[in-house]
Structure 1
């Protein structure tokens, strides 16, 4: 009896959910850690007597480590097997978390964060490979909905958890909380993940690694330096970006001449993967940029605590939780080109409210808008990823998921940098207060700076009218920046218009060595 004679299952069974539990646990650790640490940056400044630029390296170092290791994931999954590699990544991440809690200086903390990133960078692409192999192409939409929970809820739950841990315990617990979760994950993975045999047939592409990994790291370093310098003309920005771009372009040209390149760009010949990847890239730029702005508005304009700002973001997560399971089921039955535009319309509708924000905009209106955005987000990201991976055969999944994760990482860094630079440049346009200077830098304090300081309990010798004028300027700056985010959201409609509107056949056997073959799913 052939494989095709057996009707493939359409519902997720217990064996698949058991595997999904391991992968979701790792994804939650990796994604939550990014947003939890962002809340702790002011605490790091105080604890280590460091500048904001120095503590920001705890985020940048982690991001650069991700960019360095993600391209290796596809080759390493074939060479060592997905189960071994996933457990190694989980171990590295857990060890890095424990070491971060012991850091006695900002330099040590950054170094340990890099170790964390080396593990965290492999968790998502290898986890996606394990899950798609376990479910098969017929159930990938439902599976992506499961994996999408930590991806969409992480940026929302992170500030809440981080704020609570810092207030209730200490900054060390931002990292220590990962240790017991990682230990449980390792034991769980040992028993739950299916054993797969390595396929070390392909030689490692050292030349490709020497071009792509440093190229991505240099490019993202330049992008990440934009908020600090405020201009793309700064040497710290354009030199790494130019050098990184040259290395990446060199890798692209080189990879098409090699039989087994580090990153298989030939997969982009698959129209579904290409269109979905472009759609996801543009969406991530808008989504990550907006994710940075929303809590900042509540903190800087409305004077909320970190914990309250995180709680105000909760409606977005609730909306995503409602639509994500529905979107996952629909993605297996209805072409994503018919559902994603509707979901993106909800995001655009909710986002527009924030282009009108002021100093006293109704929380009911803002939370309602976040809820509507959440409804749209739950029906956008995972269906797009489903479209990207559905038509890939079993041996292509690891490479395809690596491509998708790299695009997400680059898009997220670009989105965050764009929004930070625009908001910072707007705030720097505020009028200085005569005779009032920063005691550390000697630079004049602006009306916007005084307003933000007053929202966080700092008393400055200025008139209430100056504070109010500064608050209005800060709110206008956020509104202007939200307009940029809104335009990026609208731009996403261009690539998603080309998403498939007809059912695509699953990968099938062709008999050709270079073409797709049936994805054999083995669940032990």
Structure 2
């Protein structure tokens, strides 16, 4: 329970910070006297710096408690510096520092929770870590609008300081000190030099495609080539930065594949809803945030149930049922609109996110969990811009062609991606679920 409280305190603000800043881009561009395209780098720098894949190595080298504390310090320092920014590029640089800390907090938090929970309580613990993901789309846009309108943009960052101070104090008091590590794995510098910029280029390229750039964007293909080169090397060299042999565990591999498909669908949907609300229905950012609110309410109802069912009966049935309910909600929203279908989507989402995240760690040995959180985090962070880019490209092409109801086809991409996640969920076998990990620890 103490570990859960510490993790939630640290993770909520880092996830919320992504969305509350988005609503202030126009204000920031005006105050700094620059263009929206230039100001967008304040968002991009944060997202790109979150892709540094050193969690597994850092936890093994320094321990999860120490990495957690260092990550919080980086995040709060980046927040304070961002609030004091005097130019566009100083803000971009400080947001990169903030993103580096924030990018470490979620996988380290997952590692601590998964190791503390053990295999018998994995579902209930993953239900807790899913709470911030529900709060973000509900609270992000309204909170950002209130802060910018009432206090000014600098408070978008200053608000993190007291929350992180409490999180630091809680971590110092509540997290147990870890025994000294045994043999310490050296940092795979060559792997880091390939994977980190490769992931950053991939995320940037996908984001640019979602903003209207060509699918042949050089950053996209450069990133793909660097990640492919890292993959080939990691399968041949012992002690690679990310242990790809974990995909030898069938449950972990299937769960990560399901997370990729389903996360892409949900990220695409949560980006499309504000666009639809404002462009098709003439609403405001606050209207869009309120339209997404029932999703969080629905998920809050089913997450505790999903955690218990996952621990007692396994994740496959819970996850599959959740996808069916979520797809039904998506289809109903496209057909009828309104908040009721989004509430239904939330009911399904609470079942899927909890069960599939638990499945990813359930069969792994304790020592393999830091590397597993790194892999799953990388996968979801790549799924996010892909899930946004795909419907965005479809929407742009159909809008230019003058098609009727282009948003319906864009939402159809999210529906298809969510439905595809049923395939890997079905591959989470009961024998693998009850057995031990086939992957190296």
Q: With the length of structure 2 as denominator, give the TM-score of the two structures.
A: 0.95
- Give the secondary structure class of the aligned counterpart of 2:236: coil
Asked whether the 8 Å contact 1:354–1:482 carries over to 2, the reply is no
| 1:224 alignment partner, one of 192, 202, 207 | 207
Cross-structure match for 1:113: 95
Deviation at 1:108? 1.8
Deviation at 1:479? 2.0
Greater fraction helix: 2
Residues 291 and 353 (structure 1), Cα distance of their counterparts in 2 relative to 1, 3 Å cut: same
Cross-structure match for 2:268: 289
Does residue 206 of the first structure (1) align with residue 189 of the second (2)?
Answer: yes
Deviation at 1:120? 0.5
1:61-460 counterparts in 2 under 5 A? 61-67=45-51, 69=52, 71-199=53-181, 200-233=183-216, 237=217, 239-356=218-335, 366-429=338-401
Q: Give the count of matched residue pairs.
A: 440
| 2:408 alignment partner, one of 479, 490, 494 | 479
Asked whether the 8 Å contact 1:313–1:370 carries over to 2, the reply is yes
Asked whether the 8 Å contact 1:335–1:503 carries over to 2, the reply is no
Q: Deviations over 1:371-391 (max 9, x none)?
A: 000000000012101101011
Deviation at 1:344? 0.7
Deviation at 1:219? 1.6
Residues 506 and 179 (structure 1), Cα distance of their counterparts in 2 relative to 1, 3 Å cut: farther
Deviation at 1:425? 3.3
Q: Deviations over 1:36-71 (max 9, x none)?
A: 11222222232223323222222221111011x2x1
Q: 2 CA distance for matches of 1:325 and 1:503?
A: 24
Asked whether the 8 Å contact 1:20–1:131 carries over to 2, the reply is yes
- Give the secondary structure class of the aligned counterpart of 1:379: helix
RMSD: 1.9
Does residue 35 of the first structure (1) align with residue 35 of the second (2)?
Answer: no
Q: Deviations over 1:450-494 (max 9, x none)?
A: xxxxxxxxxxxxxxxxxxxxxxx8x82222211222222222222
- Give the secondary structure class of the aligned counterpart of 2:338: helix
Residues 31 and 353 (structure 1), Cα distance of their counterparts in 2 relative to 1, 3 Å cut: same
Cross-structure match for 1:53: 37
Asked whether the 8 Å contact 1:419–1:481 carries over to 2, the reply is yes
Asked whether the 8 Å contact 1:355–1:480 carries over to 2, the reply is no
Q: 2 CA distance for matches of 1:426 and 1:148?
A: 34
Deviation at 1:141? 0.7
- Give the secondary structure class of the aligned counterpart of 1:225: helix
- Give the secondary structure class of the aligned counterpart of 2:237: coil
Deviation at 1:110? 1.4
Asked whether the 8 Å contact 2:260–2:383 carries over to 1, the reply is yes
Q: 1 CA distance for matches of 2:387 and 2:393?
A: 10
Higher Rg: 1
- Give the secondary structure class of the aligned counterpart of 1:208: helix
| 2:426 alignment partner, one of 487, 497, 504 | 497
**Greater mean deviation of Cα atoms: 91-100 or 52-61:** 52-61
Deviation at 1:27? 1.2
Structure 1 gaps, min length 5:
1-16, 358-364, 431-472, 517-524
Q: With the length of structure 1 as denominator, give the TM-score of the two structures.
A: 0.80
Deviation at 1:228? 3.5
Q: 1 CA distance for matches of 2:88 and 2:230?
A: 34
Q: 2 CA distance for matches of 1:253 and 1:262?
A: 13
- Give the secondary structure class of the aligned counterpart of 2:23: helix
Q: 2 CA distance for matches of 1:248 and 1:515?
A: 22
Asked whether the 8 Å contact 1:27–1:151 carries over to 2, the reply is no
- Give the secondary structure class of the aligned counterpart of 2:130: helix
